[in-house]
Structure 1
Amino acid sequence: MTKNYINLLRFIIIFIFLNFYSSKINAQCAGTDGQKIICDIENPVNESLSLFSLLGGSPVPGGTWSDDNNLKGLDPATGILRPQIITKGGTYHYTYTAPDSSGCTNNKAVVTITIGAFPGVGSQATVCNDSNYFNLFTAFDSNSMGPHSNGQWRNSLGEYVEPSIYIGDIDKKTTLQFTYTVPPVLECSPASKSTTVLVTVLRAPKPGSPENLQLCGSNGLTAYTNLDLNDRLTGEDSGGTWTGPGITSRTDHNVNLQELFDTSGPGTYNFRYNVLAVPDNFICSNKYSDVSIVLEKRLDFTGAKIEVFSDICESSISTASYYGKITQGPDSIPIGQYELSYTITGPSSGSEKILGYFINGEFIFPINSSYFRQVGKFTINATKIVATSSYNTCTDIFSPFSTVLTIYPLPRLNGATLTSTPTCQNKAGLMQIDALQLLDGDYRITYNVNGDNIATGQTAIIKAVGGKATFEVPGNLNTKSGLSVITILNIVNITSPAPQCANTSNLVGNLNILPLPNATTVSVAVNNYCLNDPVSVAISGLGNLTNAKISYQLSDSNVSAVQTITQAVTNGRLDFVIPAALLQNFGSTKINLLNITNTVTTCDVNLTNIADDFVLYPLPVAPNVTDQQFCKVDEAAIAILEPRGAQYKWYNSPTATTPLASTLLLQSGNYYVKETSATGCVSQASMVTVTITDTPAPVLNSDGQNFCGLKNPTIADLSNNTNVSSTVVWYDAPNSGNLLASTTPLTEQGRYYGFNFPDTDCFSSEYIEVTVTLTSCDDVSNDFFVPDGFSPNGDGTNDSFVIKDIEFLYPNYTLEIYNRYGVGMYKGDKNKPAWDGKNYEKSGIAGGIAPNGVYFYVLHFNKENKPPKQGRLYLNR
């Protein structure tokens, strides 16, 4: 391709572009300006006009329209204009803005519309003077377009008037004429245009001006028992009729207010006076006047009360709102608006007046919260209540009444202490709170348990009095012995009707949990016993307890209520005796241990299946006995009593437990015998009366022991010297002696023991002891024979030298024998009365055998100073 050809192409392209671009720039996308003059604007064809159709050139559709005069009637999207809405004649401009496209930015065109003046189409109006004012614009023909608003009104005198004319003073039928003129629009007419309207004013009926009446019915209405209602009107047309309560006919105009009040009570009673328009007047309506008669009742606020809602906690002071409620007393307060006056006293004070309504006996009103900005008690006192609708015809019965609003402080445990009393496993633990800042009341606390026992989120109710309160940690939280740490996390005031004020806490205290007695090792043992015997119970396995309280119960043959014993424990064991009153029946009985308490710690545990069975054997029947009699001398012993046998035991009292020895000698009195069964049970005692009979011992007559041996006295002689000579028996010894025959000779200084033994009575147990003297021979001759020799050769005859019977005559005698050399050979007395021919050792004779021979004797009488007697004797073997 040649260089010239290329340059040619460039020229052609530039030429085409410049021509195309130049034509685009010069194009009028909005079209050209247009205009239209409308002189007959009232014509219906002018209700709507397309402005787009008035543009010249080739306008691009889709643009927007604007009203340069900001009048109504233009649709900016479509360009449709409603000219009849424009209220004045004149010239108006509307701008079309073409769509925003390349080469047409800000392209606009203007359409000018000129509207001729229009005064409207006149008409005739009839009005009633009671409307007071009449708007002349309402007198135009409503079927035509309304007049332009920029005209002026003149009356029939040519005076300018406002469109709204006053007609209230027209007192009779009158027709008025008014002319409305609008300024000219030169494009349509050089002169102004006018329209005439006629207004006919008719007189309305006059019901008069009412005067209302207010009375206190509670004060009595005797002066108003025949009230003329006509007296309550001024300037009314006559001939009207009254309606209302108590009106009985069309001509009646009197009412009895006392009767109305008595039958219908207080209230507003309305009476209407109706006046009719004249018959040819169809414009003015009938008229009426209302007379209101208020019959008020004295309000009685006795018994009314005030409440304020509501008590709050200290933490809610900044956000709380308050309202009060007054409740009527026995006397009903009518529904309506009232003005309440009240005062507030307390930490802050003030007074208020407020409007509100009594509805169904209640008056509810708001209270400014600014009064309640601190903890304390506030008294809200209602000082006055007045109905706003009241005419104050009555004096109400009212005495101030009040209530108290309390702002409660948050419960605080600051500086408090938490202590406890030791408790037992599974038992509730008592915690003591000492908190001087805690007000009296009821609180709910939340606490945790840590330590040997763990629990969280526990709650309890406490009652604080004088800064002190207690609560229990339940037994199910104390299952382990040791130390539990109780931490109070939260406290809430639940004192009714106070609000539930809550506060956090971190109060900590310890709870010592004591261990329970070990029940696993406890056992009980009871032996078998006889009925009425003390029944001993042995409880073992008590571990290291030092003192315990045991509760038990009996069943089977003997049933008891729960019994309790408290006793020291030794080496893990204690013994006790079941009260006899609980064991009245023989047979099998079971003892069940129910509970064991460590009396040192008061900890206890219930016992299960710790029991023992034992038997109470029946007692034998008391033995059948009869009274028994014995002689004392028989020395009867227990063994001889009837009944006899190994099963019988004898006692000295019915309650004695130690039997008497079988060898025990009986005495007169009562003895008790019990039978012992094969099971070792002892019967009740049977009493035996034992009588021990004794015969009195013999009594020796005075000097009854003295005899003369020369008379050879015998036992019979000794018996004769007693008071019972026929029944006395004699022994040579008091015990186990030999019975002496009545012919037994008495001996000097012989001792004899006499017992009384009547034929039908008992041998006397006592005796007399008699030492016999055979020297009472004063009434017998004193002669005696002294032998002159003897022969001691052992042949049994005359073997000794004896002075016979001398001892009876001279009991104190002594006898001396000498040999021929004066050597003493023998010395004797009554105790040694005979010489056997042997010398005594001091004689000096060899061999001790006296030789045959003559010997000499000396006999000393030793009685009554009788001189000794001497003589000789011969010894021959």
Structure 2
Amino acid sequence: MNNTKLRLFTFLFFLIGISNFLQAQCAGENATIEICEKDADSAYRNFDLFAQLGGSPITGGTWATTNPENFYALNQSTGIVDLWRINNYGTHSFVYTNTVCNQSATVTIELGGYPGEDNIDGSANACGDDSSVNLHGFLGSNVDGKVQDFNGLWEEDPATFTGQLNENLFNAREAGPGIYNFTYTVPDVNGCSGRTSTIILEVHPPPNAGTAPVLTFCAGDDLSAYTAFDLSDHLIGEDPNGTWTENGTNQLSDLNDTIINIEEIYNNFGYGDFTFNYTVFPSHPVCEKRVSEVSIRILPILDGTIVTDDICVGESYVVELTYDNTLLHNGDFILQFLVNDDLGESPTTLIDGNGSFVIDQGLVPLNEEVTLEVIGIRSVTPPRDVCPRVIVPPTTFIVTSSDITAQDICIQTDNTIQIIEILDADGNFATGSFSTTYALTTPNGSTTSSPTFELEFTNGNASFIVPASNFTLDGEYTIRPTISGIYATSCPLVDTFTVTPLPDAIQLDLIVDNNCDATQIDVLVDAPILPNGTYTITYDVTELDSNTVLTTNTINFTGGTAAYQIDVDALPIGNYTASVRSIQNDNTPCRLDFEFEESENFSRGGVPEAPQADANQIFCLSNYPGSPTLMDIEVTADGDLLFYDTETDSNILPISTALVDGEDYFVTNSDPLTNCEGTDRVQITVSFSDPNAPTASTVNPQFCAEAIPTLANIAIDVSTGSSVTWFDAATGGSELDASTVLVDNQSYFAATNNNGCTSTNRLEVTPTVITVTPTSLSSDMLQVCGLDNPTIAALRILENETDNDVHWFMTETDGTALTDDALLIQNTTYYAENYNPLTGCSSATRVPVTIDFSDCDPENYGFFIPDGFSPNDDGRNDTFFIPNIETIFPNFTLEILNRYGTSLFKGDINNPAWNGRNGSATAPNGVYFYIINYNKDNAEPIQGRLYLNR
């Protein structure tokens, strides 16, 4: 301990009372010591803390430390501490506590640092794939238990600096292979000097077996391109000095062989996982060997077909699946599929090439063809990967909701059959006509088929009626319609319904002894017994004219037969009605009628008076299409008319019997209330009237359209005393007024009218109405020079006619045609009319033409402007007037100004001459100025001067 300095500081505290003093010293006194280079003496492994206490400590106490790093170095009972196990330089405190005096004392050790031993002989090695090399591992001593402090400072030698040192951890992976120098320093502790150790670390390159992505195929894939697959080509970044091994495929001949045949592997072993290992050994044992795995996965695949029949709504949507079981194992799976574009999943169990799955009904729309496509599969049991690609062609199917409804009915009642949501052959809701028949099975088991009929569908729905004649038996019926041309499904169209028989009805009857002169009426009742109701029966007699009930009686019963007599012998002469009525209140099924009534008219003294009619009646045949009948004979009578061939004949003639010219008929009448027939018959003789048809010299008369011909213009011959009536048809048709305007080539029909009776035969007349089209002119304006005295002949230049003559008029209608030498008159409109000399017809309208008389070249007509005038009222040269200016320049304006620029006169075609006055004053002699605007053909205005000399 020659290098150990002991320093003992003892503090004595004197207390009052000797016992208190002795008790306070049982734990000793605090002491502080300094120990440097603890590693130089192994005695420090059993350092006695109790011996370091000051004062007079008493044994039997316990030792403790607040520093957890010192806990296992201290024996708490003896106070022996192993300083080699304290691996942190600095201050360390240990507290001794004696329970006898309940006092404590502290031993404080200032402990110098130990940096471990230098490691520079090549024994410090690390692998280049180690990202956290612990440098403390290279500082240990060969002496057991001597370990460096851990709270020193690690530093890189600047000569080999990498920046990859973090406290005691060095990232060899980032630094890379090489030799690196490090120092580890523990600093000064009080009087103990700091110390440093050095490490020379060699980082060795790690082996690299490379990486290889999993090579995945699906069973059944074409592997012909992989018969000479080089495993080394599949590795990335590997060292070249490795070896290859395999697991049971016999593809590698030795450790250097890298070529395998994947197609052969599949042919020999089927689908599965096949691995090949590439091993690279390190250049230094500090690094471990590395192995990379090339995994070849040949996944099982679903290769099959799906089939589903068309489905009836309400059934499970089951799809049958068959597949190649050499490509897929047995087990439980989840199938993914698309119904149209909607995704669905379904569990399925596949065994030995067969299976089925169910489609969620919510994915499938009704009554339209949908496409089902399996797009994926997952293996649940056993849990293993399956090729995500499936080889299952899509299929189509349809879920139909077609249905038929037949209602329960009563016997011999029509039954309306409703058919809904029927699809046509293209899978759309049926619209249009479809050939249909139905089979009807009756309660006795017999089946009849209806004739084929056309059934009209709208949006898939239709209805038809099974006639009541098919339901003569009560009981259960079955109907099965067959519709041609619709979408074929296996869904049955069938329904059953019940036909209930009609209950028996009450029978009422009235028997009158003589309807025309009655004395007694029998009322008969035959009523079925009602189990749940009663009949109320009333019979009465009513006077018809006043509707007064004279006799009445009412009875109530549940059924049976009854007979009653009504004595009417005392009734006054007149017409009566006897009635019997029944009302019942039962609820028997198929009871349709609950009220019944029988009535019978009768009379007391009820024979009607004879009818009145003209004995001879004439019928105009044209008034009766076909022929007059008995209904057309005019008769005045009460009641219904009855016609007979003879006065004694008993066979009543039908009222539609056609009359025969010159024939006699006999008529009587009957009371419609009592059917009592009169005793007298009246004779009537009928005769027919039919004037001869009219005639005409020609039935194709010709007219000019401009004359607006009418039917009255057609010459028709009729017999004396007769007139003509026109029609628009050979028979029937409408009567036409004589003022009707004729239409070219339209037929009209004339009939002879004799005293209001027109002939049945009519004369057909088809007139020709000639229409001459208006003339065609090259222009609606003629430009001439009025100074040439132009005539009508000048208008001929405008004519374009070749087939007709053109006549010129001064009026739009009527008037006389103008001759070619007639002078044209200014401000007059002329009219051209076409005239056909072959027919003598003219056009109905005339074409107007206006005349422009100003088409004059001034140079050709000696146009000049006078330079003076003498307004002295001598009748010569009394006005300033420009000859012919109103003709050559009809839109001219003239202005006269004095020498001061004052306007004295403004003229035009309506006021062309200046009389030498300035308003009401006389203009003096002198020079004046004129300004003329020609207002024609862009002619420039002209100005000049003139001399006024009176």
TM-score (norm 2): 0.33
Normalising by the residue count of structure 1, what TM-score does the alignment of the two structures yield?
Answer: 0.35
